[in-house]
Amino acid sequence: MRKCIFFDRDGIVNESPGPGYVEHWEDFHILPEFIDILRIVTALDYAAVIITNQRGVGRGIMPLATLEDIHRRLQATLREQHGLELLDIFTCTHDHDAHCECRKPKPGMILAAACKHSLDLANSWMIGDSPKDTEAGRAAGCHTILVNPSATPDLADLTFGSLVELRKKISAILNPDLTAILFDIDGTLLDMQGIGRESFVRTLKTTFDIEDELDGISFAGSTDLDILRQVMERHQRTLTAGDCDRFHTQLPIALESAAHHAELTLFPGVRTLLETLSNAPDIILGLVTGNVEACAWIKLRQFNLHNHFVLGAFGNEHADRNDIARLALKRVEARLKPGQTIKACFLIGDTPNDIAAAHAINAVSIAVATGKFTIEALKEAGAMVVLPDLSDTDCIMEIVAVSSLASSPLAPKSRTSSSP
């Protein structure tokens, strides 16, 4: 579904005709501020739809054919002179006494546009110069902007005294700076009940004919590549790139097979937290995990969590978790749109290595005691926030909100897109 900006017409798209109507194309003067705003919203991949009451037709003052001709010429002018497109124009030509469902402040035209074009109303905006416009937008479930020098804040989500003011702010409104939240998997989100280690042991045997129960090797906070290197060193074997590729191909096969027969654990609050975070438009979720990438997605799929994460960095890419975190941050930065910044970055994990990785990328470290380390140990390791688990979604959302403020002492240095 596509996001959309719904524009009122008179006073927003073109100069207001006052109490009358624009009855001729020659009297239809497109506002330059609208051109600028349309160019910005188009660049941000929003559709643009005009929603306009034109009861002059219903009153017999102007024929419908004239109105339609004006709108055709408007679309042609935008396309030919400015390289811009309107997705559609919806018009209510009824008079007040028709008691229709389309005339603003009723949301009929917006709802019809959403139905016709599969628009995401919850992430769309209605921009107008009358409370009727914003009332219609709110009734349809949109965010609202009122452009009127006498507007009061209660009439819309945002109010501006003029289109000039709105033009200066529209990019920041529609393209908010991002908060990046990066998650470890094992011990933080879920517990595979030992089948990760079992799969590792089995794959060592099938791939290299090495029998090793991995005694003395801790998986907590480690990476698959580092563990593989440790095993090969103690068996006095040289680890080649080809060896890594073969092992990383076979390990997910063993894990997926074992996962089908295991009783796995999803930690308290994880599902609710991820659903809440992934629904926030200014939050991007990623992974910083020591797992081979294919194994990471297998584990998340066991609980249908995989769709919440849009990127990650993995244990087959680096042996050092700090380097994995740096790679994940680079991938977040690569997704920034021009002018967009990362206003805060968080790394959530259950080990001192996760905390060190957070420090390596100047992220706020949130540690959870759902793994092998106690709250006291995680505090001593330097976590900025330590929680028993992820069950208190409201608390975590408050931490994210406070730390994302520029004035917060927890907020890391802002990072800006390098895109032109």
pLDDT higher than threshold 90 for residue 339: no
CA separation for the pair 165, 346 (Å, rounded): 33
Tens-place pLDDT, residues 49-91: 999 999 999 999 999 999 999 999 999 999 999 999 999 999 9
**Annotated domain spans of the chain:** 4-174, 176-420
Please confirm, yes or no, whether 95 is among the known catalytic residues: no
Structure-model confidence comparison of residues 410 and 119, the more confident one: 119
Mean pLDDT comparison of 148-152, 299-303, 405-409, highest-scoring range:
299-303
50: amino acid identity, one letter:
I
CA separation for the pair 353, 227 (Å, rounded): 14
pLDDT higher than threshold 90 for residue 416: no
For the whole prediction, is pTM greater than 0.75?
Answer: no
Give yes or no for a contact between 4 and 41, defined as CB atoms under 8 angstroms apart. Answer: no
Tens-place pLDDT, residues 173-194: 888 789 999 999 999 999 999 9
CA separation for the pair 143, 137 (Å, rounded): 7
Per the residue annotation, which of 10, 177, 191, 350 is the catalytic one?
10
CA separation for the pair 279, 123 (Å, rounded): 10
pLDDT score recorded for residue 404: 64
pLDDT higher than threshold 70 for residue 235: yes
Length of the chain (residues) = 420
Tens-place pLDDT, residues 116-159: 999 999 999 999 999 999 999 999 999 999 999 987 888 899 99
Q: In what order do the strands lie in the sheet with 47-53?
A: 88-92, 47-53, 4-7, 125-128, 143-147, 158-160
Across 75-109, b (16+ Cβ under 10 Å) vs e yields beebeeeeebebbbbbbbbbbeeeeeebbbebbbb
* Two tokens, residue 20: 């009358």
Rounded to 10 deg, the angle between the 224-234 and 195-208 helix axes is 50
250: amino acid identity, one letter:
Q
387: amino acid identity, one letter:
L
Give yes or no for a contact between 177 and 341, defined as CB atoms under 8 angstroms apart. Answer: yes
Same fold, 4-174 and 176-420: yes
pLDDT higher than threshold 70 for residue 170: yes
* Stretch 300-319: mean pLDDT: 96
**CA angle, residues 366, 371, 377, in degrees to nearest 5:** 65
- Three-state SS at 289: coil
**CA angle, residues 105, 150, 107, in degrees to nearest 5:** 10
Give yes or no for a contact between 418 and 332, defined as CB atoms under 8 angstroms apart. Answer: no
Tens-place pLDDT, residues 380-399: 999 999 999 999 999 999 99
pLDDT higher than threshold 90 for residue 264: yes
pLDDT score recorded for residue 418: 36
Query: Right CATH number for 176-420 from 3.30.2350.10, 3.90.850.10, 3.40.50.1000, 3.40.190.10?
Result: 3.40.50.1000
CA gyration radius for the chain? 28
pLDDT band per the 50, 70, 90 thresholds, residue 406: very low
Per the residue annotation, which of 8, 186, 191, 354 is the catalytic one?
8
Element at 328 (helix H, strand E): helix 321-334
Query: Is 3.40.50.300 the CATH number for 4-174?
Result: no
CA separation for the pair 106, 51 (Å, rounded): 11
Q: Identify the burial level of 153 via C-beta atoms within 10 angstroms of its C-beta, where 0-12 means exposed, 13-18 middle and 19 or more buried.
A: exposed
Rounded to 10 deg, the angle between the 131-140 and 108-117 helix axes is 50
* Two tokens, residue 236: 């006095």
Q: Which has the closest alpha carbon to 288: 328, 319, 248?
A: 328
Residue 189: other Cβ atoms inside 10 A: 28
